[in-house]
Structure 1
Amino acid sequence: MFQKKIVPVLSVLFLFSGLCKAQFIDNFDKGAIEDWLYFTGDGNTEMDFVQEKEGMATLYIDATKDQNNVWYAITKRNVAPYLNLKKLKGPDTELRVEARVRIKNPPKRVNIMVNTQRTTEYHHDLMEFELQDEDWHVISMTTKDLDAVPGDSLYIQFDVTDFGREKYEVDMDYIKADIINTKNAGPDKGIQIPYHPPIPALSSFSNKIEVTQDALINLEYPDLNLNNWQVWEKEGPSRVLTVNGKQWAILRWDLGSAKGSKAKGAGLLEITTQSVTTGGNYIEVYGDQLGEEFPRVRIIEIWAGEVSWDQQEVTYNSFMQGKTYQEVFNTQMIYDIEVDKTPGTKNFITISQPVMQRMLDGTTKGLLIRPLGAIDVSFYASENKERAAEMTPKLYFNTEGK
């Protein structure tokens, strides 16, 4: 079923009078996938894009051979022949792409993207969406200052990225695109997760909470507690959270009176660099696209395991409680970051509104920090309060009414 890359035979494109006036739409009811490109990239994954009998299409993704969970599966179609691109020159006009989709392993993020054959900044018109259950969800994205003119190819994409290292299915009931007037078209649909949003001023957050427990778990020494992990600096010993291939950091917060409240927008995680050791010829080995993803650090939701672990006692085995990685952690990361290498520099990581809400609800028990690539990173831990309180990991967020 799976193929690494598929380029379909392009059929003759039609311009229906009603469709030209209204929109491009594919209801996947023609008996077979037509005029779509679909392919995987970066990691070692395989995919297929199949027309189902009940009038929908399914992306089948096999990521079981992938090593790093850095992969994408793309469906892509040129909709320019169906649209009057001259309309994009009018005031307040943009392209809106809408799809009805569902997944089988929530919560996970998918994304919609728009580009042309001239696009160089592919993240400009890209929006991620979180699907929180197995129901059908309508999601839509409206472009911003779309640069598309008559004669261009105008591609719409529905993409799946970094779900994990298993097999996945994503269903699509329909996808459509229309040139709209943004003043009267109404808001977009779905739980939008802006891709790499700017970091807001810390003063914009009403809640600032220091980490309650932060610890290290070591896969090679699973019964070892590492609460006294430290490095010697000029001022004396400092407790640090050192993350590498065999050692990860776990963090949790006592949210106090904010627990159970409604998250207002995204939050921020603050962690302070103590040291970074890195290297490697990633681009030479993996190529430009995959190679540039390394080395980084991943921030991941903790869903299960020991809930009330104590940093002075926790070990890998006591924390995992005999469960698998997939049972304890969300296999799709919240964020990958390039750590600032300057000692004492603060790293700010966006915690999306849905994740922040799960933390307030207690569904997400805390955060995991693990490496992506061959890298050793140390962040200052909470035990340094006496001489470096400002370096303690912190969580910033807003809640409704506060």
Structure 2
Amino acid sequence: MKAPSPLSRTLAALAAALVAALPLAAQLRDDFTILRKDPAGAAGWATRTGEGRAVMDILPGDGFAAVSVDATADRRNVWWAVIARRVSGALNMARLARPGTELRVEARVRTDTAPRRINLSFNTQKTTDFHSHLMEYDLAEAGRWYTISLTTSGFEAGPGDTVNVQMALMDWGLGRYRVDIDYLEVDVVEAAQAGPDLGPPIPYHPPVADPSAFALALPAAADLTVDTAEPGVSLDDWKLADGGGTARVLSAGGTRLVLLHWDFTGLAGREVAGPGLLELTTRAVAVPGTERPDFGQLRVVETIGGDPAWDERTATWTSIAGGRPRDLVLNPQPIIDAPVTAGDGAKTYLTVPAVVLQRLLDGKTLGIALTPLGSIEASFYAREERGGTLAPRLLFNILQKPSGSPDSK
């Protein structure tokens, strides 16, 4: 996840192009037995990329469409790649204008790289907030088909309006990626009868929850600064000294990043109840004085490979990675990108989706890493400082077990 403004500006231009195109004469369901492409998105699928040097195409497969993205020429990994199609010509727009009706899109998809997220969205020629009807979806396993859906809430459109449906990949990394689409269908539905969406959907940049709403606050069991430019050096003794004194810290900036690990032994087999928060306590932060999109922020990612039981007293990037490429140790797609709250002792709260928390509990994700997005030097209190009271923490809730089941008391 990342700041919305650059994507919004470019999607606005795409929407304007779709509005100017000819009406769509197609069914609500595309099974991709014949792939129809149209640069304007009116008589077929349009493709667009932005915020980087990724290139994309949509190609015919054996009964499916293959969305391919080549980001090998990119540098910063803040790119997006969108397929879009005008659907208003195939919809009952008069019905959509009635109270209690919404739009629903459903698709069956698979990816060659996981875990990764895609998103589905709707917009019209009047849309200014391109995230108001957008949800993300976690594709946890490569090669597995997932059925996902998005039902809008409060979507405003009627006869004469242009409605576009979109699917996007964002920030997947600096490699080559593919998403296959078995089918995609759009319909006008009665909201009260639509049922829950499939996926499940993950809100894009949701408001930060109240930290007091979480029953569990689990401090990191191990934390470590590593430097990919000095991969064989242990930085467990990393410190910051200034007018406020000397403190053990964790620092993300330049070639340095932070690795966090938790002990979930007591929660084995349990299920998380919704998203949670990662809590970090600032020691110091330096960022540019001029705010720039996708710059001077913290990029939070999953640790998906490497040594699962590294010892913070001796570990280095070399020993943790074990010769694996960085993208096989740290998922290049962020959990979230966000600014750091400035001020000694200030708290930064970062939303962690339920699917990521569950992977952590299940041991499928090995930890969380804090990496720099653009120029930033962010230092947070390490768990060794002040008796662990300022350690990085995960705040979350666990579903209660049914009465009478083991560990229900």
- Whether these two folds match at TM > 0.5 is yes
> Equivalent residue of 1:359, what SS?
helix
CA contact (8 A) 1:47 1:60 kept: yes
CA contact (8 A) 2:278 2:393 kept: yes
Please list the CA deviations of residues 163-206 of structure 1 after superposition, one character each: whole Å capped at 9, or x if unmatched.
Answer: 11111111111111111101112221112211111222223222
Matches of residues 52-63 of structure 1 in structure 2 within 5 Å?
52=61, 54-63=62-71
Of all paired residues, the percent bearing the same amino acid is 37
The offset of 1:385, in angstroms, is 2.2
- The 3 A distance-change label for structure 1 pair 267 and 13 is closer
Please list the CA deviations of residues 88-140 of structure 1 after superposition, one character each: whole Å capped at 9, or x if unmatched.
Answer: 33221111111111111122111001111111111110000011222221111
Please list the CA deviations of residues 288-311 of structure 1 after superposition, one character each: whole Å capped at 9, or x if unmatched.
Answer: xxx511121111111222222222
Matched, 1:81 2:89: yes
Matched, 1:27 2:31: yes
Matched, 1:124 2:132: yes
Residue of structure 2 equivalent to 1:182: 191
> How far, CA to CA, are the matches of 2:269 and 2:346 in structure 1?
32
Residue of structure 2 equivalent to 1:286: none
The amino acid across from 1:60 in the alignment is: S
Residue of structure 2 equivalent to 1:312: 313
The amino acid across from 1:210 in the alignment is: P
Matches of residues 2-401 of structure 1 in structure 2 within 5 Å?
13-14=24-25, 24-33=28-37, 34-52=43-61, 54-133=62-141, 134-234=143-243, 236-279=245-288, 291-386=292-387, 389-401=388-400
The amino acid across from 1:344 in the alignment is: G
After superposition, the CA RMSD in angstroms is 2.2
> Equivalent residue of 1:382, what SS?
coil
Aligned residues: 380
CA contact (8 A) 2:122 2:164 kept: yes
> How far, CA to CA, are the matches of 2:360 and 2:307 in structure 1?
16
> Equivalent residue of 1:319, what SS?
helix
The offset of 1:375, in angstroms, is 1.2
The amino acid across from 1:124 in the alignment is: S
> Equivalent residue of 1:306, what SS?
coil
CA contact (8 A) 2:35 2:59 kept: no
> How far, CA to CA, are the matches of 1:217 and 1:12 in structure 2?
55
> How far, CA to CA, are the matches of 2:259 and 2:34 in structure 1?
49
> Equivalent residue of 2:319, what SS?
helix
- The 3 A distance-change label for structure 1 pair 92 and 390 is farther
> Equivalent residue of 2:281, what SS?
strand
CA contact (8 A) 2:119 2:135 kept: yes
The offset of 1:66, in angstroms, is 1.0
Please list the CA deviations of residues 212-252 of structure 1 after superposition, one character each: whole Å capped at 9, or x if unmatched.
Answer: 11111112222221122212355531111111121111110
CA contact (8 A) 2:24 2:87 kept: no
> How far, CA to CA, are the matches of 1:318 and 1:27 in structure 2?
47
> Equivalent residue of 1:391, what SS?
coil
> Equivalent residue of 2:266, what SS?
helix
> How far, CA to CA, are the matches of 2:131 and 2:59 in structure 1?
27
> How far, CA to CA, are the matches of 1:185 and 1:300 in structure 2?
34
> Equivalent residue of 2:230, what SS?
coil
> How far, CA to CA, are the matches of 1:216 and 1:363 in structure 2?
22
Once the two structures are overlaid, the 10-residue window that deviates more, 6-15 or 204-213, is 6-15
> Equivalent residue of 1:317, what SS?
helix
- Which 5+ residue runs of structure 1 have no aligned equivalent? 283-290
> How far, CA to CA, are the matches of 1:104 and 1:191 in structure 2?
20
Please list the CA deviations of residues 2-60 of structure 1 after superposition, one character each: whole Å capped at 9, or x if unmatched.
Answer: xxx99999676437xxx5xxxx22222235434222111111101111233x3321111
> How far, CA to CA, are the matches of 1:110 and 1:233 in structure 2?
43
CA contact (8 A) 2:68 2:179 kept: yes
